[in-house]
A and B are shown apart, each in its own frame.
Chain A
Amino acid sequence: MNDRHAGHVKFDNVGLRYGTDPEVLSNLSFTLYPGSFYFLTGASGAGKTSLLKLLYLAQRPSRGAIRMFGQDLITMPRERLPDLRRQLGVVFQNFRLVPHLTAFDNVALPLRLAGADENRVMKAVAEMLDWVGLTHRAHAIPATLSGGEQQRVAIARAVIARPRMLIADEPTGNVDPEMALKLLRLFEALNNRVGTTVVVATHDVHLLKKVPDSLIMRLNKGQLSDPTGALRYPPRPAAAGEAGA
């Protein structure tokens, strides 16, 4: 990891279209700095989920270049993608919990996929469920959980493996404001203590103010605008030295 852009995610003139439809994302050029906290906002249909799909490797762009953690995503062979995906934590817009696994087993998935020792899986998952207040629902399957409970399981699953980058699509849409704030603090803790880059897509403008050092990316009909200058400049003094040319 001597690459000085090792922790960066860099988009260069990226466009995305579904099939033969017009582009839903156009001319995206930006860099996500490691250890920063980003909010992605924009009207419904602006392309937030589409942009996040590119980030969590569910889509390849139709054009342009993407580098992630020092590797070129466009030319990367398919077999190497799982390795990269395991360094990401994802909260999907519709949670995407595995329907026949319990809350516990859903949260355990990233650790088990990585072949973690089962004793450690047990301990870490129990802790995490306790923290999101779902210990009593640990053995419930998703269909029997409320929307907010499912959301908390999804978030627990996304952070359990201490990912290098956390990508969350409307992660607080189904919970009350108090829980929303608590979950946001979890993301902050991951960001501050583990150094995880965080990208949160949200409609909720109140949320933006709750994270002091956050940077805002605004999507408008597939184009990025840059109200805080987050995308043009190295956004933090710590990252300034790394920005380079």
Chain B
Amino acid sequence: MNTPPPLLSDAPETDSAADLATPARNRAAARLLPATRFAGPIPWVIAILIALVMIAAAGGLALKNLATSASADLSAAVTVQVIEPNPELRAARGAQAVRVLTAMDGVRAVRLVPEAELVALLEPWLGEGATSGDVPIPALIDVELSRSAAPDDVARITAALEETVPGARVDAQSDWLQPVYRALSALQWLAVGLIALVALATAAAVWLAARNAFAGARDTVEIIHLLGATDRQISAVFLRTVLRESAFGAVVGAGLGVAAVLLLGQQFAALDSGLTSGGGFGLADWLVIAAVPLTGVLIALLTARITIAFALRDML
């Protein structure tokens, strides 16, 4: 009854421990330990954070696109006003200005805004007086340049009109929109700041989760460490868990994020305003948005790796 197990019989059909001491593949490491669990809500927290980053990123990109297309439209436009109280003289100078402008280089289109249109525009502000002719209104000319209006374009037009059309005033329309651009750019910075904060929160959540998972399994880790597991084998087990849980969070978060972005996009499209139509996303924008969940998973893996490396360093 006390014969030793065949394993220990003299014929060394099995290798000795020394012969076995080849580094194990990670595939084998996967079988060593049951997957450790993240604290329950962590994947959902990651999902929410990733959805928030995606929405902020989409918002930032939409604002950027909007600002670019609006400035492309508007900066190519210049307005010329001819200020002259005498109606006949004003009409003559307006016509003169149109002639000068039409003859200029880099001008694509010139349009003298009809007085009736101006009156209609002003009536709500100035009341009946605007139509009576008591209040002098300037002649207004829309000039469309073939490219964006640089300051010297404005200067060139001003110089050309100065000689021939007294009382002409030239404005680049983009000047009027400077406050709007500033607001848009502030919103973009806000989006960037939000993304940075939420990314930080994601990293912190993952760090806590990895640390908890590690503390919960510390006993197990110590045992397999003493049985000769390498740091690589041990961290492979945790990285597998972190990868699984953060991938879950990323997929759910990406779903939520994309749904929110599409929904918002539809709402804006429904407004059908000339401005928002420029906020649509191109391929590059979608790539940036898709990079968010991937980056989230990478941050999770990196954080977990560093956490585990530190915890293992405490063991001999």
A binds B: yes
Interface residues of A (CB under 8 A from B): 56-60, 78-79, 81-90, 92, 96-101, 109-116, 118, 120, 124, 127-128, 130-131, 157, 159-164, 181-182, 185-186, 189-190, 193-194
Choice from B7, B17, B224 contacting A87 with Cβ under 8 Å: B17
B220 CB within 8 Å of chain A:
yes
B116 CB within 8 Å of chain A:
no
The 23 listed contacts between A and B (C-beta, < 8 Å) are A56-B226, A60-B316, A83-B228, A88-B228, A89-B17, A96-B222, A96-B223, A96-B226, A98-B223, A99-B219, A100-B220, A112-B32, A113-B233, A114-B21, A114-B24, A128-B7, A131-B5, A161-B20, A163-B17, A189-B4, A190-B8, A193-B8, A194-B8
- Give the residues in chain B near A89, CB-CB below 8 Å: 17
**B224-242: which residues lie under 8 A (CB-CB) from chain A?**
224, 226-231, 233
**B1-55: which residues lie under 8 A (CB-CB) from chain A?**
1-2, 4-10, 14-18, 20-25, 28, 31-34
Identify whether the interface residues of B are mostly helix, strand, loop, or mixed: loop
B316/A185 in contact, CB under 8 A: no
A164/B227 in contact, CB under 8 A: no
* Nearest neighbor of B36 in chain A, beta-carbon distance: A100
CA distance A212 to B23 in the complex (A): 39
Of A86, A88, A110, A120, most buried by chain B (CB within 10 Å of CB) is: A86
Contact with A along B94-126 (1 / 0, CB 8 A): 000000000000000000000000000000000
B33/A113 in contact, CB under 8 A: no
A127/B6 in contact, CB under 8 A: yes
CA distance A181 to B1 in the complex (A): 11
Q: Tell me how far the C-beta of A92 lies from the nearest C-beta in chain B, rounded to whole angstroms.
A: 8
- Give the residues in chain B near A100, CB-CB below 8 Å: 33-34, 220
CA distance A79 to B15 in the complex (A): 23
* Nearest neighbor of A83 in chain B, beta-carbon distance: B21
Choice from B1, B220, B230 contacting A98 with Cβ under 8 Å: B220
